Amino acid sequence: MNGSNQEDTHRTVERVARESYGRLVAYLSVHTHDLASAEDALSNALVSALSHWPQDGVPQNPEAWLLTAARHSLIDAIRHQKVVLASEPTVQLLKEDFTEAALSKEFPDERLKLLFVCAHPAIDHAMHTPLMLQTVLGLDAARIAQAFLIAPKTMGQRLFRAKTKMRSGGIPFEIPQERDLPKRLDAVLEAIYAAFGIGWGDMAGGDQRGRDLAEEATWLARVLLQLMPGEAEVQGLLALMLHCEARRPARRGPDGRYIPLSEQNPNRWSVPLIEEAERHLTEAFKLGRSGRFQLEAAIQSVHAERAHWPD
């Protein structure tokens, strides 16, 4: 294997991991409720991809390949557990749709369930955002800890505790019933916005870390919108975040000094992002259900008008 080939494979693995991480973790844990094991299995699959793909070539459907490898790893892990209490039904369950999933290109997208589980009322409120960042986007505990300004070890322990509760606490892996949906969806939206807020506030002098987290939050909002296209507040949240993003280049002076909104140069705002935000806001208003995020986005929209004023 030559160097550039390996580099290419690395990049492919990274891309597939980035795009498919949440889908694979969600699918692997939806029956077992065991997120930690699903994540471990996926890590093993990714390591295995790094050693196999450079030799055998990148498979036609990398996601399905990873899923198959992760399932093997998951079944092995359950078998090797010293305490095999009632593991047989789980193994059976994993094996049952194993062949089916390996053959079919499509497997169901369970990420929405995962987002709702991460923001379940029985889970510590402060852990909603970190859990989403880890289980849906695959960020590691050290990086999450950095953003939340706590020790990586502490963050690791809190994530572990939360996952134990998800596994054994009787938390359903399902989309909430209509009656509970507005409240539960609020929790999901708040957790995503919290990630964005941390990324935003953290951006002292264009700090790359902060920017990354704001981008991750925007990605989460896009995933959510893809899964719930008819929810006005999801559109509203994405519009709000895109409006903020649009002004990022104008937010700091060359010396890193903070520039208040009224003094920002609108020529430095991103017009494509403003336009995208406006599109989402229009979509949201069409749905005719107002809410906090739509209102905040509307305020941003008024500020953004300035981009079109003559100098």
Partner 1 sequence: MQFALMIYHTPEEFDMRKNDYSDPHLGAWRAYYRALADAGVYVGADALEVPETGTTVRLRDGKRRVQDGPYADTKEQLAGFIILELPSVDAALEWAARCPGASIGAVEVRPLAKEALRRGFTG
Of 117 and 241, the one with the shorter C-beta distance to partner 1 is: 117
Residue 169 touches partner 1, criterion: CB under 8 A: yes
Least spacing, CB of residue 177 vs partner 1, in Å = 9
113-149 in b/e form (b: 16+ CB < 10 A) is: bbbbbbbbeebeeebbbbbbbbbbbbbebebbbbbbe
Least spacing, CB of residue 224 vs partner 1, in Å = 21
CA distance 280 to 38: 34
Residue 86 touches partner 1, criterion: CB under 8 A: yes
Least spacing, CB of residue 168 vs partner 1, in Å = 6
Least spacing, CB of residue 309 vs partner 1, in Å = 51
Least spacing, CB of residue 237 vs partner 1, in Å = 24
Residue 260 touches partner 1, criterion: CB under 8 A: no
DSSP E strand stretches across the chain: none
DSSP 154-222: HHHHHHHHHHHHHHHS----SPPPTTTHHHHHHHHHHHHHHHHHHHHHT-TTS-HHHHHHHHHHHHHHH
Residue 182 touches partner 1, criterion: CB under 8 A: no
Which one of the spans 71-79, 115-123, 196-204, 302-310 is the region binding partner 1 (CB under 8 A)?
115-123
- Can you tell me which of 5, 168, 267, 282 binds partner 1, judged by CB under 8 A? 168
Quote the tokens at residue 53: 């793909």
Residue 92 touches partner 1, criterion: CB under 8 A: no
Quote the tokens at residue 159: 């994530």
**32 to 71: interface string for partner 1, x by CB under 8 A:** ----------------------------------------
Least spacing, CB of residue 66 vs partner 1, in Å = 30
Q: Is 12 helix (H, G, I), strand (E, B) or coil?
A: helix
Residue 302 touches partner 1, criterion: CB under 8 A: no
Which one of the spans 114-122, 209-217, 242-250, 268-276 is the region binding partner 1 (CB under 8 A)?
114-122
CA distance 282 to 239: 9
Residue 5 touches partner 1, criterion: CB under 8 A: no
Tell me the site size for partner 1, rule CB under 8 A. 12
Residue 77 touches partner 1, criterion: CB under 8 A: no
- How many helices, marked H, and strands, marked E, lie in the chain? 14, 0
Residue 229 touches partner 1, criterion: CB under 8 A: no
| Cβ atoms 166, 38 nearer than 8 A | no
Least spacing, CB of residue 88 vs partner 1, in Å = 10
Contacts of the segment 182-188: beta carbons below 8 A, 24+ positions apart: 184/116, 184/119, 184/120, 184/121, 185/228, 185/231, 185/233, 185/234, 186/233, 187/119, 187/120, 187/121, 187/128, 188/115, 188/116, 188/118, 188/119, 188/128, 188/224
Residue 85 touches partner 1, criterion: CB under 8 A: yes
Least spacing, CB of residue 96 vs partner 1, in Å = 20
Residue 91 touches partner 1, criterion: CB under 8 A: no
CA distance 239 to 227: 16
- Can you tell me which of 121, 206, 230, 256 binds partner 1, judged by CB under 8 A? 121
* Site for partner 1, rule CB under 8 A: 85-86, 120-122, 168-172, 176, 180
